[in-house]
Structure 1
Amino acid sequence: MCTKILQTTHLNCSLTIQQINDYSQIIKELHNRLETTNDLTGWLHYPEQNHEELLFQIEQIAAEIRQEADVLIVVGVGGSFLGARAILDALTPYFGRQMQGIEVIYVGQNMSGAYINQLLKYIVDKRVYVNVISKSGGTMEPALAFRVMRQYMEAKYGEDAQHRIIVTTDAEKGILKALADKSGYRQFVIPDNIGGRFSVLTPVGLLPVAVADIDIRALLAGAKQAAVELANPNLEENDAYKYAVMRHILYKQGYSIELLASFEPSLNKFHEWWKQLFGESEGKEKKGLYPSTVNFSTDLHAIGQFIQDGSPILFETLLHFKSIEPDFMVSFDNRDEDCLNYLAGRTFNEINAISKQGTALAHAEGGVPVIQLELPRLDAFHLGYLIYFFMKACAMSAYLLDVNPFDQPGVEAYKRKMLELLRE
């Protein structure tokens, strides 16, 4: 029996227990649909499967990269880089991240010439490995970036470039797969039945995370516990489904924006992963909540005024970890010229938690519906749990809207128009 580690609560009378429980039967039906469909749902049970051989291979190559390189350059866009970057930023130090042995740098997530120029100048005296991540190899941004990086690596390392370029792509098809086979690059497989924004717990995210010396086994263990706990079709006992239903009810009540808020700056990139997950999964057929994010307490002094007193178009999801290490305690000062001795002996994370509580109460009293998600610690295990939680909730949210969670026709539309213009 797994111990429930994520707590979901809500404030404000816009949501009642009865309103939520009214969805119990439809949730059971949609749960069965999710479990029986073959439409890119390989992520559902991926954490529960035996990946021992794959994890060993990833850990071996990660150790090699830490030994032989100063920099790992990850080439990717969207789901091919957001998840890994979210985990790295959340679980590595704020300062001197390269002092852990290696620096992870991202390219291919934009088409800025200035970015490419500065990157090439920055790495000129550094030992480099490249991990290019793309299921097809045909997406413009990472394809262009990889052309640049491939030429750079070949000019710098000659034949040894083959050993320093690692490809994560489809098992059988695509431009990148054909290129990797021809060039003899080492390869990891993106499973056919897992789409990009649901792929962070596969080699797409695991290799860059392992290179940063983060425990990928703990990450998967957390996701596995979530997969077990959240397999329950009973709405009252499944927090992912409960969260999905809360979002859906608020959407039907006229709220058009969900604001994900957290209280630790290291979670900013996790916000970006969350935005893609929900925005790309739900925003179809002129439906869906607009996913936006803030980081508190910084944004309480920026957009906090609008949240409290502005147009009633949004609700708030507060994400909080009870313990974040290492913490820092406020010391006693005999002078007390700043009048802060009443806080002496408390840690910053304790004060942050009280800030979260005060924010939730103030916003709820101001008429903003507030959903609260709370986990015990910010570490690999609990982050793995949270990643799976959001993926499961996202799939259910899209089904409640009666849209396909796993395609992205709007993204393909921009690609077509861009290619038309470039070919002109």
Structure 2
Amino acid sequence: YDVALDRDVLKPMAGEVTRLRSLADDLVVLGIGGSSLGGQALVAALAGTTERPLRCHFVDNIDPDTMALLLERLDPARSAVLVITKSGGTVETLAQLLIMRRWLRVTLGQGEMRSRMTFVTDPERGLLRELAKSEGFRAFEIPANVGGRYSVLTPVGLLPAAFLGIDVGKVLDGAAAMVERVTEPDVAGNPAALLAAGALLALKECRRTTLVMMPYSDALRVTTQWFVQLWAESLGKRTNRLGEVVHAGQTPLAAVGATDQHAQLQLFVEGPRDKAVMLVAVEKSRRQLPIPDELADRDEVRFLHGRDLGEVLAAERRATRAAQAWNSARVHSKRWSRWRKAPADSRSNLTLYSRFGVVRTTVSGRANSNTTRSKAASLGGSRCSTTS
């Protein structure tokens, strides 16, 4: 929880953001998994709150077509690169680093390359830390006690958000407020404990081996991907803390309303009864979009006249919840249901990241497993150097 309360990084980070903005309109963020998804979720959720037309490109894969196309579209003279890896040895990120380093050096020269690349990595160890010391790259720390996938409230997530003009101070305000709630010893007042209890009940008692996160908001679409990564990598374990072989875990699944009402909902309601569904609502959109009284003579659309588009979305969410009520994929716990109905107030900085704080804390504490270890996650990368 200390990360949510630590504001010491804000001042030096603000200086770096000012410097990067003077150099670039496009920030390329290199990273994968926890080094990328949290920042992507933060930026996507709060997009539209900034004025200057800056762009942030999260490159979270090593697909050559995607990266080559990005380089073709970018102007190196108006670009900067943020390289994020906690260990400093993530194969995918290092491959990206080499490509971006050469691209900047060839087009702009050694000095410009150095000034346009910033690192976020371990305080003491790893290749990025060594390069920062030997070649003079600017580098920010991921605290030693913070795992990569839990690092969104460090420069990993805050620096890209700040570059885009998002008020990261308010983000930390929301996180600090949630720290108070998730350390509440009374389970009834602790949203993280309630979510953990509900998810565990769904898995152990109701055999709901899949947990679906389904927000009714496009802005939270990336949040579902982050949830999938957190839930899977933190809780999918061969052994528990006692060393016993358990092959534990609950499969996370991403969905978005109302889009997936016309895709996955059929499976959720009438398919195998192995799913618990978390519906997430945004209580009030930042924008209103009234539906005009076009085609006034047609019965098929008359009921929409005078409504706001957000009203229709909310009505569809309520209908989805009702459709699931009779299906045992829903966890029948009054407290669990209350959390699931809890609104995210207008996706404001404070409230939104209070909600994210719930998810992060729940992942950390809900199971008898080592949530910080993810040996399997690095198997592909670690073996690629020894196989053809």
TM-score (norm 1): 0.83
Partner Cα distance (1:321, 1:203) in 2: 27
Q: Does 1:414 align with 2:380?
A: yes
Using CA pairs under 8 Å that are at least 6 residues apart, name the structure with larger relative contact order, 1 or 2. 1
Partner Cα distance (1:157, 1:125) in 2: 7
Partner Cα distance (2:381, 2:274) in 1: 31
Letter in 2 for 1:348: L
Are the aligned partners of 1:257 and 1:315 in contact in 2 as well (CA < 8 Å)?
yes
Aligned equivalent of 2:3, options 25, 28, 46: 46
Listed as ranges, the gaps of 5+ residues in structure 2 are 239-246, 332-336
The alpha-carbon deviation at position 232 of structure 1 amounts to 0.8
Task: Please name the residue that 2:322 is paired with.
Answer: 361
Partner Cα distance (1:150, 1:250) in 2: 48
The alpha-carbon deviation at position 140 of structure 1 amounts to 0.8
Partner Cα distance (1:120, 1:294) in 2: 31
Runs of 4+ residues deviating >6 angstroms? none
Aligned positions of 1:203-218 closer than 5 A: 203-218=155-170
Partner Cα distance (1:106, 1:376) in 2: 27
Task: Please name the residue that 2:263 is paired with.
Answer: 302
Aligned equivalent of 2:129, options 177, 183, 190: 177
Q: Does 1:287 align with 2:287?
A: no
Task: Please name the residue that 2:343 is paired with.
Answer: 374
Letter in 2 for 1:209: A
Count of aligned residue pairs for this structure pair: 370
The alpha-carbon deviation at position 59 of structure 1 amounts to 2.1
The alpha-carbon deviation at position 415 of structure 1 amounts to 3.2
The alpha-carbon deviation at position 298 of structure 1 amounts to 0.8
Q: Secondary structure at the match of 1:100?
A: coil
TM-score (norm 2): 0.91
Are the aligned partners of 1:167 and 1:185 in contact in 2 as well (CA < 8 Å)?
yes
Q: Secondary structure at the match of 1:355?
A: helix
Partner Cα distance (1:65, 1:326) in 2: 31
Q: Does 1:70 align with 2:25?
A: yes
The alpha-carbon deviation at position 414 of structure 1 amounts to 3.1
Are the aligned partners of 1:66 and 1:101 in contact in 2 as well (CA < 8 Å)?
no
Distance of aligned partners of 1:350 and 1:165 in 2 relative to their CA distance in 1, 3 Å threshold: same
Partner Cα distance (1:378, 1:336) in 2: 37
Q: Secondary structure at the match of 1:419?
A: coil
CA displacement, residues 288-324 of structure 1 (integer Å, 9 cap, x when unaligned): 1100111111111111111110111111001111012
Partner Cα distance (1:65, 1:418) in 2: 34
Partner Cα distance (1:380, 1:311) in 2: 38
Partner Cα distance (2:73, 2:295) in 1: 47
CA displacement, residues 108-162 of structure 1 (integer Å, 9 cap, x when unaligned): x222111121111111465111110112221111100000001111122211221
Task: Please name the residue that 1:268 is paired with.
Answer: 221
Please tell me the root mean square deviation across aligned C-alpha atoms, in Å: 1.9
Q: Does 1:110 align with 2:79?
A: no
Partner Cα distance (1:383, 1:182) in 2: 40
Aligned positions of 1:234-253 closer than 5 A: 234-252=186-204, 253=206
Distance of aligned partners of 1:141 and 1:416 in 2 relative to their CA distance in 1, 3 Å threshold: closer
Distance of aligned partners of 1:341 and 1:56 in 2 relative to their CA distance in 1, 3 Å threshold: farther
Letter in 2 for 1:89: A
The alpha-carbon deviation at position 406 of structure 1 amounts to 0.9
The alpha-carbon deviation at position 417 of structure 1 amounts to 3.0
Listed as ranges, the gaps of 5+ residues in structure 1 are 1-43
Letter in 1 for 2:226: W
Letter in 2 for 1:277: L
Partner Cα distance (2:382, 2:36) in 1: 22
Partner Cα distance (2:67, 2:258) in 1: 33
Task: Please name the residue that 2:244 is paired with.
Answer: none
Aligned positions of 1:1-400 closer than 5 A: 44-49=1-6, 51=7, 53-93=8-48, 100-107=52-59, 109-124=60-75, 127-158=78-109, 159-252=111-204, 253-285=206-238, 286-333=247-294, 335-337=296-298, 339-369=300-330, 371=337, 372=340, 373-398=342-367
The alpha-carbon deviation at position 350 of structure 1 amounts to 2.1
The alpha-carbon deviation at position 345 of structure 1 amounts to 3.1
The alpha-carbon deviation at position 338 of structure 1 amounts to 5.7
The alpha-carbon deviation at position 334 of structure 1 amounts to 6.9
Partner Cα distance (1:100, 1:337) in 2: 43
The alpha-carbon deviation at position 386 of structure 1 amounts to 1.5
Letter in 2 for 1:302: A
The alpha-carbon deviation at position 333 of structure 1 amounts to 3.8
The alpha-carbon deviation at position 54 of structure 1 amounts to 1.8
